[in-house]
Structure formats: structure tokens, C-alpha cells
Structure 1
Amino acid sequence: MSFYTKKTWMLLPMVALLIVATLSLSIPAGNVYADGAKIGIQSEMGYQGKIKHEKWNPLKLTLTSDRDISGDVVVQIQNYNGFGYQTSYVQQVDLPKDTPKELVIGIPGAVLNKDNNQILFYEGSYTKGKQVPFATGKNYVQASPYQGALMAVLSNDPDTMNFMNVLNGKGSSVNVFPLKDANVPTDAMLLNGLDVIVMNNYASDTLSEPQQKAITDWVNGGGTLVLAGGAGYAKTAAPFADISPVAANGTATVNSLDELEKLGGKPLKLDGPFTISTAKAVEGAQIGIAADGQPLFASKAYGQGSVQYAAYDLAMEPVSSWAGHPDAWASVLRNNLPMMNSQNGMYYNSLMDNLNYVLEYFPSLKMPSFTLLLWMLIIYAVVVAPLLYYILKKADKREWAWFLIPIIAVIASASVYAVGSSDKTRELAHTINLIELNGQGDAVKSTASAFFTPRSGNYALEFGENTYLKTGQSRNSFGGTAENKSFVRVGQESTTLELRDMSQWSLAKVWVDHQGTEEMGRLAMDLKLDAKGGLNGKITNDTINDLTEVVLVVGGSAYKLGDIKKGEAAAIPQDPKQIIKFTGGDLSGMLYPYSQNDPKQRERDILSNYGYSKGMVNKDAYILGWSKDHLTNYTLKGAEVDSDQLNFWIQPVEMDWGLNGEINIPYGFLSPEISQVNSPMFGVYPHGVEMGQGSLIAEFPLISDGQVKYSELSIKGTKFNNNVTMEIWNSKKSEWEPVTDANNVHTINQNPEQYIVGNRIRFMITAKDQTNFMMPELSVKGEATQ
């Protein structure tokens, strides 16, 4: 054996030891398992395993340890199938020996499987502690978003509302399930994935005060609460009397429910006296239908949500199993049940996700002046070439060029860097706020923000209390994406976001959700139609900010109101130059046309994405405006991060129909609302409805205030393509009547009352094949009777 061979064999053990030592140093502390503790884990995601896409869903974990131990539970979610970025949701927990401990963590809804998420436990903390492997149970969550409606039921009868399952078909999907008292969270955000909560003949005072408050806050933020029970209504509604649409005052019996029968479209025969609760509607409530002079259904808006009242026990026969019951409640809940596959064009990404690229239009970060850089280049070329050569030749020191040229190059490079980085030396933020006003003084605020990092490293951002965060992919200064790791810890007083391993000059994206609503004021409206159907009146800015470029969209027209300062008003313009009439398409491009410099790119893209996300069409009515005030602030090391903010304000329109004498409401002011869809493909977009083979049922709401005697109902847009037909519901005959007008207008002036049920006009559109079309419009004439 040669010398080199012997030497090699002698060195092998030393090399092996060196490799082992190096690897041991490179392994993160978090991957070294602590000895001794054996922890078991069980998990339950969402409600009965169902979660909603881009909503906050509860993840309930049950942990059991064989010894006392404290630490951080980390739910780590890898986004986009393992590429790009990961978000970890952290919660501290104390585990007493052999005692099961439950904790609930809010998780944004997405496709979850063993390849894109894991649950970890760190003794002490995730920053310094050792990872303890789970001895039993799965260390990941598996779930897929549910596209239909989730309806939770609190009732003495667990089968209450099961009749809604009849609506399940090719296009609609409703999942009804009983909810136990213990599973009602105390955090409103964890109810975010539910569409409707039904309380029927239920002692709701058995819920704790935090649970009751969570439900109230959930309604305030956009949920729908149904209060019912007949003789048991009082015990159902007691904790929610302040938001109920009625004040109950006893019970009564009825022998028929004619209006409910019309609403359901099927014969309803009662076996005998049927008990209902008696009540008086409170201010601001709307009566749906009545029975013997008593409201059978009523509703009232509360914040961004609504509370529905039903005067009877929903589980009581013969109404519970009545064939028309599902259709009746589909009409009652027409605005509250999402249609399956009807994600308004945004199933894969939420509205805020689709604003991801808009966050990169960072006003404070600008490209250096091209002219300045050009002059610097010219000066450098002149100095390095002819000027330096002339000076050195004159001084007979041309050999100095060997060190002078590199020195000048370094100085020039440093100058260019200084110019290019002059605005990139401190932390900055670009924030977009969506302010959805409810017209009552409150608003739901949604926030997307990009945080700029001037240096590489870790950053800890602090947000206000009751804040839920989701992070997005980082983008570096060279236009590429970079992996980042973020840790979110929701505390009682604040929510902390730790951004780890951020690169220099990169943007970290964060989406911010808040519980309930905030006091933001409202846009007060005084809008009336004259006898010829012309719109006049004014809009008063009673919000907390001055607003710019305010636009009123109603009746298929956009009225430019200009800037309105806080406390001031603007009249509805009559100048045709200030009015944009549109029959379809994207309004954003009409309000903010494309241009070379494009100063309104952010506004156009925000409005366009909002319109597609919400399924807004030309017949929708709303007011929008803008401001740049600081409405969302977060801190770094106790100091507020400097932020460019753009705020989009929007509020639904409330018309004062002026019920005094003659009524003439032109096309476009009464928008149809879809209650049922039976189609495998369906979507509502600014350019119209896209639908596969199947049908939809929709209703035109009529004037809800006062009493009106209608003399004429006229539906325009009844002539579709050859694939589409339309029918109108005759409540007197309880049958569908075909609409065959070839002139695109269907006019009813003979006994129009027979087509009105529950103060609405119901119609059905059927498609023989995949197609698209614009929804019809309604015009009404009549006279106020009181």
C-alpha cells in the first residue's frame, strides 16, 4: 500500500467526524427533537370538515401530553403547492400532564393536504425552543373548500331546515348541519365561513355572553341570522332583541297561510290551527309576507349583514315537510345563499388576492431620472476618456491611469447607486383599503399592504387587536420572487407578523381582516325620481374623510359628482357631459381611461377587480369615491411605518321613491336578485351572465315602503338568443307563463297584481346550452295609495 493510500485511510475518520460536525451545526435548532415528552394530536377543520374558500375557518386542535410542557403550536401552510411562500400561524399553549387541551386557530380557506401544510410543536417558543414530534395523530390538515352555502342550525330539533337540502342539484348546493352550543366560537372571525345561522325554538340564553357577542359581531360583518320558533320565539330571540326586526308580543293561531303558499308555489293545507308568534316590526325593518295581519317574515339590516324573522316553528308540521318550503326559503334568503360554481369569476383568488399586482404600483418608490443617469454616464465617459487622457498627458503621468480609472469607476458607481437608492433607505408601505359602507354609519374595511424592506433580515410588524393576517409572496428589487417565511401570532391586544429572511429591496404582501365593522360614517342620499323618471337630488358626505372623484351609479348611468369634502353636499348633475350611460362592460375603463402616463391605473384596476369579484352589473346602484388618508397603520419597533394609502369607498344606493301620487320608475332602478340556480356552470360579471345548460330563478324587488297600486309592469330585455327562454310566475294561477314577445319588451297592464308575490315579481330563465346574456330590466308605473 502506497503512502498516499495509507494517508487517505488515516484521514477518512477525521473527514467523517468533520462532516458530521458540520452537518450538526447546519441543522436548525427547530429540527432537534426534545427528549421525554410524548404528545398526541387530533384536529378538526372548519364545520363538519367543511371550509370556505378565502374565509377564516376554525382549526380545532386537541393536544395531550404525558408530562407538563409549554410551548408554541405552529400551523405552517405552504402556498401555491409548495412554491413561493409560507405562512405559519402561532399560538402558545400550556399542556398539563395527561389532560387534553383544546385550542382553536383561525386558518384561511384553501386546498389543504399533507404536501402543503404541517402542524409543529416547539417547547418554549418557535424561535428558540426544540421541536417535539407528535407521538400519535396526524401532523397535517386535509380539507377542500366547499363552494355552496353553509347553514348552521341551533334548535331543539336537529332536523330543522333539512328541507333546504331539496335545493341541492346540478347548480345549487346547501349544506345544513346542527351546531352544538360548545362549538359556537367566542371569536366572530371564526364564524366567517358560515353563510346563515338559524335559531329556531332554541334557548339562546344558554350561550355565553362572549358567544352571543360573537354572533352579533358576525352579523355586523355580513352574516345572516334567522330567528324563529313560533310559540318559542321569545326564548330564541331574547339575547338578540336589539338587532331583531320585530318586537314579539305573544302568539296567535291561523287556519291558512295563503301568502306563504304563493311564495312556495305549491298547495299548502294546514291540518288545523297553526301557531305563529305575533310581533310588531321595529323601525327600519321590512315586512315580507303576512298572515292574518301579522308579519310572517320580516328582515332588518344590521351592519353589513341582516337578521330574518319567521313567525312560525320551522320544524313544525305540516309546513316543515311542505313541498313549497324550500322554494319559499330560497326566496327569503335570496341574497344570502351563494350559488355553487357562482364565484363571480373569482373562485381561485379572492378580491384582495387579485389586487396583488396593484400593490406593486408603489408611489414612494420611483425609478431614478433617466435624464440624470444619462448625464452621469456622459460625464463619466468624458472624464475617463478625453479629459483624463489630456490631463495625464499634459502632466506626463499617463501611467497613473492604471489606478485613477478604477478609482473614478468606483466613485461613478457609488454615485449611480446613491441616486438609485435615495428613496430606498427606510421601511415603507403601500396600502389599499376597501371601505364598504352600509349606509348606517359603519363599514367593513379590508386591507392589502406591501411592506418594503431596505435591508435583508428579519422584521416584526405589529397590527391592532382583533386583526387576522394572511401573507403573500415577496418580490425583490430585480422583479423576481423570493421565498419568505412569515409567522403570525394573534394576541389579545395586538397581532404580530414576523417576516424572516427578507432580502434587500423586497416587497412583502400582507392582507388584513378585522372583526365586525368600524365607524366610518356614511354618504347621505336624497334621491328622487320625477314624474318623467328623471333623477335629481343630492349626496352629502357624512364620512370621516374628504372624498375625491365621487360617482353615483344608478339606473344604468354613472353621474360624476366630483370632489365632496367632509360635511358638504353635491347635487346630481344634469349636464350630459357629467353623465356616462352604459349598458354593459367594465365601468372602470370608462371612468378612468387608459393613457400614456396612466395616473389612474390603481383606481381603474381596483374598481375593475371589485366589480368582477362582486358580480356588479350596469343595473346595480352604488356610490363610490376615493381618499388618501391613513386608515390602516402598523408599527415596526414601536414606530409607525410610513405608508402611501389609497382608499376605495363604496356604498349601496337607497332611493327615496317619494310615494306621493303618481309613480314612474324607469328601467334600471329595480335590479333582479337571483334566488336559485340549477346549472353546472354559472357566473355574474359586468358584461352579463354566463350559464351552462339549466335554469335560474330571479325576482324583481318592488317598492317596499308604503302601499302602491301598480298599473303597469314592463320587462325589457326578454328577447334572448335562440338558446334562452324566459317565463314569468303567475301567483294567482300558480304556474309559469312563457314570455314570447318578439319586440324585446313584455308589458303587463291587465291585473298586474297576479304576478306579484311577497312584493316581488318572479321569473325564470332557461338555457338549452352554455350561453351568456344580460339580465332583463323592469319598469313600473302606478300610484301611491298611502
Structure 2
Amino acid sequence: MSFYTKKTWILLPLMVLLIMATLSLSIPAGKVYADSAKIGIQSEMGYQGKIKHDKWNPLKLTLTSDRDISGDIVVKIQSNYGNGYHTSYVQQVDLPKDTPKEVIIGIPGTVLNKDNNQILFYEGSFSKGKQTPFATGKDYVQASPYQGALMGVLSDDPDTMNFMNVLNGKGNSVNVFPLKPTSIPADAMLLNGLDVIVINNFSSDTLSEPQRKAITDWVNGGGTLILAGGAGYAKTAAPFADIAPVVANGTMTVNALPELEKLGGKPLKLDGPFTISTVTAVEDAQTGIKADGQPVFASHVYGQGSVQYAAYDLAMEPVSSWAGHPDAWASVLRNHLPMTGSQNGMYYNSLMDNLSYVLEYFPSLKMPSFTLLLWMLIIYAVIVAPLLYFILKKADKREWAWFLIPIIAVIASVSVYAVGSSDKTRELAHTINLIELNGQGDAVKSTASAFFTPRSGNYALEFPEHTYLKTGGSQNTFGGMRENNSFVRMGQESTTLELRDMSQWSLAKVWIEGQGTEEMGRLSLDLKLDDKGDLNGKITNDTINDLTEVALVVGGKAYKLGDINKGGTEAIPQDPKQIIKFVGGDLSGMLYPYSQNDTKQRERDVLSNYGYSRGMVGQDAYILGWSKDHLTNYTLKGSEVDSDQLNFWVQPVKMEWGLSGKVNIPYGFLSAEIAQVNAPMFGAYPHGVEMGQGSMIAEFPLISEGNVKYSELSIKGTKFNNNVTMEIWNAKKSEWEPVTDTNNVFTINNDPEQYIIGNRIRFMITAKDQTNFMMPELSVKGEATQ
């Protein structure tokens, strides 16, 4: 064969490849993906793009495909701690050809950007299917947690409640926006990011039954619902009659609203007859100010939340645009609106996140006995050195040491491993449950759990249906964080958590929440104050469990009641040794003192974290206890995971005064409630209040039962540092009056009624610079009248 012939055969394959490459360039790009569906995506995070930290927020995805396709939509979120840990929320979806399909997925509130999250679609399933890239739209979401209050409004007038925006210049941060009926989810957890829902002059029966149930469950879990409408109140409240604070029975007109005018602190002139609804308050409802004998406002506790009633159409002039309207509603919604400067929550770890390190106090996993290991080392040293040498020398077999010493070393190593891993051969869990009782028989349960993996590999854990899960990075044997992934899928019958690439002897942490409340009983209280202001009475355990180390916290004191079995009753102790005075002190450290053999570390840290997270102060009243029953269970391969459980029970205390004759309420029983804050930094903690330059307005709620004629009001804690001043609101004069008393007690015994508006006393604390102080306390005297 000639040289040219050989050259031709060599170049021929190269020429074919060149021709094929040239032809491929002429093929339209779309042809490359001829076998893949073209899917477009649009996303909307939260409500009007706003989400709340430490809440479950809806992510609405609208997907459109050019052909029929089924698969998994996956929202992958990277941990903010930079440890490479990812949690993916998975939902199966069927996409009909050219038909937009909406998918709503619950996402925990955190900072979201293109660098820490991604939306993926897998044809078939994420575990076995092929990833299909999106043809149009962004494959990530962007959002930052909103610190202020999110207030959604269902009303025929979209501008209803817009007057609340004025509060944005007064320390509160309020975002008011209209809700479309179609935007109300059928899942209460997806309303979790809303602080307040207002329904005003709106036909609520147009909502579906699942939507109405979702709103009711949301209130039960801690939401605030406002029902209003004046002449339209009946159509507003009809579907929520079971939880409303009043029963409507008609309407009437008034020509003035003097009590509302005092509450707002600004002149209010009505142009003519003004329509309000007439109602009858239900049992246990609290009524506020009145107009011609009819309540203008009323409230009713439902579960962990509250239902508020307003007698008028919130969009009706001239009240809607009245200058005092925002301040009046700031008072009505005190303690229901987050404060702008509050440090409790924004970009700080949530309560459950803060319990992450407590999960590492794993009772079932113990370090091997130091004494035992020391003896094993001594025995090994004795056998390998003098004893083995003596035996081999005696037998004249010293050369055997070359293989006997390695054998003994292997046996010793296996023995040490067996001792150290004796409790690490099976899957275990350490679970902490927070049981927040509402005093009516139900509770909101929040759970943090650590799952121990004895072997490396993948694990699929199953939880009850409607369970929402958030996961944290797994901790390996040596205390480091390991990069791995978890996948959460909410199904019709269960929620599945798939943990992938777990290392041997590691902890995977998961935070567990469910919809609404659970029936868990209550702690029944029968508390009375005698003529000297001393507390007497008893507490009955009507919960589902025996409780240990029960303590009543009220009036700045903690009364240690000890263990109370289910159905048992314990009297309030009078022995000073069983009463702890802790105002300004660390209650958790006093109840569970530090010790060398610290057996109460978990209890102390749980209580401490709970107090800081909930912004508790010394005047808060609640009762707490503990149990170790199994209240949260999950399964692995159909079998329940063995679990150590510690349950923290807590219930707010509401005094039933039952007053007759003389009234003498000492300091600490009537706690101040914060209405407004106008400061760049603000936080309420067990040790007191921290505030930047600015002001705080708070109110003392007075006795809600019966009628009391007050003869003396006394405020203790009025002597601050030179940077702080205090004023009290004179409702009769509609002006602030300085509190000039320098003896730390300000007493009013000359016409104290002039300082009372809506059965409350309002005061303001102003700071010239960053400062901290204890919240003032109120004592009252008077006489109960018929």
C-alpha cells in the first residue's frame, strides 16, 4: 500500500468526525433536549414576599409543562451554619400538558437567596428519576424574615386597617395587606407566619370548610383573629360563632364614642349617627370600653390564641381615619404585635434551635467507666510485660512473644471497643417535648429530637401525618459536623424523613411540629389572696401524666409543690423554705442549682432557654412541671425507635379573684403588658428589660371580675437611673403626667379613677440612652361592689 493510500485511511475517520460536528452545529439547540419536558416555574414566598423567622411559611410554585409528566418537586435549602448540611422538602406532582399547576410547600422561615437554596424537578422520583432543568423562571427563591407584624385582612374594602401603618413610626412595625379568599390555605401551619387576621364586613361563609377550619386551628395554636363589621358583623362572624367572644343580636346607633376617644388620646367627632353592633358577651369573655352600655371591644381566649371583637366597621369614616385610631388598636392588640426593636427572634436562634446542645445530653449514651478502662489498661500492661515474660521464660519459649503480644493486643483492643460500644449498637433517640397547656384541656406540643445512628448509611424515619419537620446537621463521633442530606416528604398518611450518608455513631437532629393542639389536660388552679395579700389555695393535676417537681410562679415568687400524680392535688406551700423569691434573679439556677454531679442540667437549660425565648419577666405567672413519658414517637422500618424523653409542662396562671368586700392585691400579681415601643433596641428577659434610646408604652390590666371601686393605686419600681423617666396617662385630662416620686414608689390615692381607661393603667418609660431596668409593679386597694 502506497504512502498516500495509508494517509487517506488515517485521515478518513477524522474527516467523518469533523463533518458530524459541523452538522451538529446546524441543529437547533432545543433538539438536544427533545426527550425532556420543557417546564416553566414561577414562585411566591410567604405573604406578599414576606416570611417570618421561626415560622412555617407557604412557598407557592406555579409549574407549566409542554407535555404530561409526573415527578418530584424538590426544594433544597442549605444550612445557614455553613456546614454543608442540606434539607430538601419533597412533593410529588402531576403536570398536565400546557396546564398551570400550583404546588404549595411549607418552608421554615430563614434568609433565602440564590446561594443557599435551589428548586429541582425529577421525573418519576428524586431518588431514581432524571433531573429536568426548568426552561423558564428562577430555580431558587429570595426572601428575608420580616421582624414586624404581618396582618392579613379579609374585607370588602381593601384599605381596611391601613390606619395601622401609622404605628410604623411609633416603634411597631406593621405590614397590613389584603387577603384574597383563594389565598387562604386549608392547612393551619401555612398560616403560621401571620400574626393577625382581620375579617371585617366580609361574608365568611364563602370560605370553604377546610379554610375556616384552618383559621380556627391557627387561632388555637396562637394566632389572633379580629372579627368586626358593625352592621355586617353577623355575616363576618357566623362561621366562627363557636370561638367568638360575643353573640350578635342586632345594631344600634351612637352619636359619640367618648371611651374610644379616651383610649386613642385624640379628639373624635362623629359626623352623625354611627352604627355599631349589639351583642351579648359569652362566658369568660373580657369586655373593654363601652358605648351606651354596649361593648366596643371584647376578647376571648381560644386555645393558645385570641379572638377579638370590634363593634364597628373598621373601614367606616370618620373613625377609620381618626388620628387616635392607631393608638387605640395598639392598646387593644398589646402583646399581640411584635416590637420593631425586639431582639426576641429576629436572626436569633429559635427556642428549639437553642435546645440543640441540650439534645447532646443523651441519657442512654454514656462514656465508658474510667475506672474500668484503667483496670483494663493495668491488666493489659501486667499480662504483656512481667507476666508474659515470666511464663515464656519459665517455659523457655520467649520467641513466642513475637506472635503472642500482637494477639493479646488485638484481644485487648476488641475488649475496649466492646466496653465502649456496649450501648451504641442500636438506633436510639433523645427527645425533648415542650407542652404548652392553655388551661382549657389542650396544649401546643413542640419537639426537638436527636436520632443516634449505630452504623453508617441511610435511614428513613416515619412520623404521623401532618407533621412538619426541620432538620439540623448531624454530629459525628468526634463532635464535628458532617456534610450530608435529608429529605422530607409529607404524604397522605405519614411524613417521612430520609437521612442520607449518615456516619457511624452520629446524631441527626430534627425539630417536630404538628397542626393545632392536642388534648393533654390541664392544671386546675384554686388560688386565693387573703386580706394580708398572702397566696393560698391548691393545684390539681388534671393532665394525662404524673408530674414531678411542679412549681407555681406568681407574684415574683416560685412555690415548690413537689411531685403531683395524675388526679392528685397539692396545697400551696406556706413554708418559707419551699418559696423562692427571684425577681431579677435566675429562676432556673435557683430551682435546679449547679452541682458537681449535675443531674438537673437538662431541666435547668430547658427552663432558662424557654424563659429567654418567650420574653418572660419576673412578674409573669405560670406553673411548670416535668415528666418522662413517651409523648412523641417515630418509627424506623415499622418499629418504634427507643427514646429517652424529657417533657417540660407549662401553663399560664390566670387568677380567679372571686372578690367580695375589701380588695388588697399586692405587687407582682397584675403584670404590665407592652403596647408600643419606639426604640432601636428592645428586649424583655427574665433579668429585666433592655432598651435603647427611645420610649416604651405599657399598661397594667386591672381586675377583670365584677366591679371594683379603687381607693389606692401604688406603682413600685419608679426610681430609675438618670437616663430614664416615667410618665402616667391621665385619661380624664388626656395627657401624660410625670412620675416625680423619688422613693421608688408612686402612690395615687386621690381620685385614682382618673388614671383608669378600659380597666387599665397606662404608663410610658423614656430613655435618653441605652439602658436596662426592671418592669414596674402595681399594687391596688379598694372595695368590690355589686
Q: TM-score, normalised by structure 2?
A: 0.95
For the residue of structure 1 that corresponds to 2:141, the secondary structure is: coil
Q: Whole-Å Cα distance in 1 between the matches of residues 455 and 122 of structure 2?
A: 29
Dislocated runs of 4+, deviation >4 Å: none
Matches within 5 A, 1:273-352: 273-344=273-344, 347-352=347-352
Distance of aligned partners of 1:345 and 1:241 in 2 relative to their CA distance in 1, 3 Å threshold: closer
What corresponds to 2:649 in structure 1?
649
1:410-466 per-residue CA deviation (whole Å, 9 max, x = no partner) reads 111000000000000000000000000000000000000000000000000000111
Superposition pairs for residues 609-624 of structure 1, below 5 Å?
A: 609-624=609-624
CA RMSD of aligned residues (A): 1.3
Structure 1 residue 180 displacement after superposition: 0.2
Q: Give the whole-Å Cα distance in 1 for the aligned partners of 2:654 and 2:593.
A: 28
CA distance in 2, matches of 1:644, 1:560: 25
Q: Does 1:571 align with 2:571?
A: yes
Q: Does 1:462 align with 2:486?
A: no
Partner amino acid for 2:447?
A: T
Q: Which residue of 2 aligns with 1:60?
A: 60
Q: Distance in 2 between matches of 1:689 and 1:182?
A: 42
Q: Give the structure 2 partner of residue 188 of structure 1.
A: 188
CA distance in structure 2 between the aligned counterparts of 1:345 and 1:669, rounded to whole angstroms: 27
Change (3 A) 1:490 1:33: farther
Q: CA deviation at 1:390?
A: 1.2
Identity %: 87
Say whether the 8 Å CA contact 2:622–2:650 is kept in structure 1: yes
Summarize the alignment of residues 548-567 of structure 1 with structure 2, pairs less than 5 Å apart: 548-567=548-567
Superposition map of 1:227-246 within 5 A: 227-246=227-246
Q: How does 1:404-415 map to 2 (within 5 A)?
A: 404-415=404-415
Answer yes or no: is 1:584 the counterpart of 2:584: yes
Amino acid of the structure 1 residue aligned with 2:411: I
* Letter of the structure 1 residue corresponding to residue 136 of structure 2: T
Residue 774 (1) aligns with residue 774 (2): yes
Asked if 1:755 is matched to 2:755, the reply is yes
Q: What's 2:709 paired with?
A: 709
Q: Aligned equivalents of 1:621 and 1:170: distance in 2?
A: 29
- Separation in 1, partners of 2:705, 2:343: 32
Separation in 1, partners of 2:378, 2:341:
60
Structure 1 unmatched runs, 5+? 1-9, 14-31
> What aligned pairs does 1:728-739 form with structure 2 within 5 A after superposition?
728-739=728-739
Aligned AA (1:229) = G
Q: Is the 8 A contact 1:522 1:541 kept in 2?
A: yes
For 1:604 and 1:83, the matched residues in 2 are separated by: 29
The answer (yes or no) to whether the contact 1:34–1:131 under 8 Å persists in 2 is: no
Residues 479-519 of structure 1: CA distance to partner in whole angstroms, max 9, x if unpaired? 11111200000112211000000000000000001111000
Distance 2:37 2:582 in 1: 67
Question: Match of 2:464, as an amino acid?
Answer: G
3-state secondary structure, aligned to 2:169: coil
Provide the residue aligned with 2:249 in structure 1.
Answer: 249
Matches within 5 A, 1:365-376: 365-376=365-376
CA distance in 1, matches of 2:107, 2:296: 39
- 2:5 maps to which residue? none
State the partner residue of 1:115.
115
| 1:168 shift after superposition | 0.2
SS of residue paired to 2:202: coil
1:362 aligned onto 2:362: yes
- Does structure 2 retain, via aligned residues, the 8 Å contact 1:33–1:132? no
The aligned residue for residue 201 of structure 2 is 201
Between stretches 511-520 and 170-179, larger displacement belongs to 170-179
In structure 1, give the amino acid aligned to 2:431.
T
TM-superposed deviation, 1:179: 0.4
Partner of 1:72: 72
**Separation (CA, whole Å) in 2 of partners of 1:585 and 1:153:** 42
CA distance in 1, matches of 2:257, 2:333: 19
CA–CA distance in 2 between the matches of 1:688 and 1:474? 36
Asked if the contact 2:696/2:765 (under 8 Å) is kept, the reply is: yes
* 1:473 partner SS: strand
Instruction: Tell me if the contact between 1:443 and 1:519 (Cα under 8 Å) persists in the aligned partners.
Output: yes
| SS of match in other structure, 2:609 | helix
Superposed, which structure 2 residues align to 1:591-670 within 5 Å?
591-670=591-670
Task: Report the secondary structure of 1:168's partner residue.
Answer: helix
SS at match of 1:610: helix
Q: Counterpart in 2 of 1:726?
A: 726
Q: Which residue of 1 aligns with 2:489?
A: 489
Q: 1:375 to 1:741 in 2, by over 3 A?
A: same
Q: Deviations over 1:255-283 (max 9, x none)?
A: 11111111111111111100001000011
Q: Deviations over 1:620-659 (max 9, x none)?
A: 1000000000000000000000000000000011212121
Larger deviation, residues 519-528 vs 168-177:
168-177
Query: Matches of 2:609 and 2:406 in 1, distance apart?
Result: 51
CA deviations over 1:3-24 (Å, ceiling 9, x no partner): xxxxxxx9xx9xxxxxxxxxxx
Secondary structure of 1:74's counterpart equals strand
> What is the CA distance between 1:82 and its match in structure 2?
4.0
What secondary structure does 1:472 align onto? strand
Residue aligning to 1:23: none
Amino acid at match of 2:613: S
Distance 1:279 1:682 in 2: 39
CA distance in structure 1 between the aligned counterparts of 2:237 and 2:656, rounded to whole angstroms: 31
Counterparts of 2:96 and 2:82 in 1: how far apart (Å)? 35
d(CA) in 2 for partners of 1:671, 1:148: 24
Change (3 A) 1:346 1:378: farther
After superposition, give the CA deviation of every residue in 1:291-349 in whole Å (9 maximum; x if it has no partner): 11111110001110010000100000000000000000001010210111313377410
Deviation of 1:170 after TM superposition, in Å, equals 6.4
* 1:346–1:612 contact (8 Å) kept in structure 2: no
- 1:682 is matched with 682
Change (3 A) 1:346 1:102: closer
Look up the match of 2:445: 445
**Code of the aligned partner of 1:228:** A
CA distance, structure 1, for counterparts of residue 742 and residue 207 of structure 2: 58
The one-letter amino acid of 1:159's match is D
Distance 2:248 2:771 in 1: 48
Matched with 1:224 is 224
Q: Deviations over 1:580-606 (max 9, x none)?
A: 012213210111111011100000000
Conservation of the 8 A alpha-carbon contact between 2:112 and 2:143: yes
Residues 83 and 481 in structure 2, CA contact (< 8 A), matched pair in contact too: no
Aligned residue identity for 2:777: E
For residues 653-672 of structure 1, the C-alpha deviation after alignment (integer angstroms, 9 at most, x for no partner) is 12121211101000011000
Q: CA deviation at 1:34?
A: 9.0
Letter in 1 for 2:525: M
Query: What is the CA–CA distance in structure 1 between the aligned matches of 2:491 and 2:763, rounded to whole Å?
Result: 50
Aligned to 2:19: none
TM-score (norm 1): 0.95
8 Å contact kept, 2:53–2:346: no
Match of 1:4 in 2: none
Counterpart in the other structure of 2:532: 532
1:98 CA drift (Å): 0.7
SS across alignment from 1:537: strand
Q: Which residue pairs with 2:3 in the alignment?
A: none
Distance 2:631 2:298 in 1: 36
In the alignment, the residues of structure 1 paired with residue 606 and residue 484 of structure 2 have an alpha-carbon distance, to the nearest angstrom, of: 26
Question: Match of 2:429, as an amino acid?
Answer: A
Q: Which residue of 1 aligns with 2:26?
A: none
CA distance in 2: counterparts of 1:405 and 1:435, whole angstroms: 57
Q: Give SS of 1:182's match.
A: helix
Tell me the alpha carbon deviations over residues 542-596 of structure 1, each in whole angstroms, 9 at most, x when there is no partner: 0000000000000011100000000011100000000001221321011111101
Secondary structure of 2:130 counterpart: coil
Q: Does the CA-based 8 Å contact 2:451-2:507 persist in structure 1? A: yes
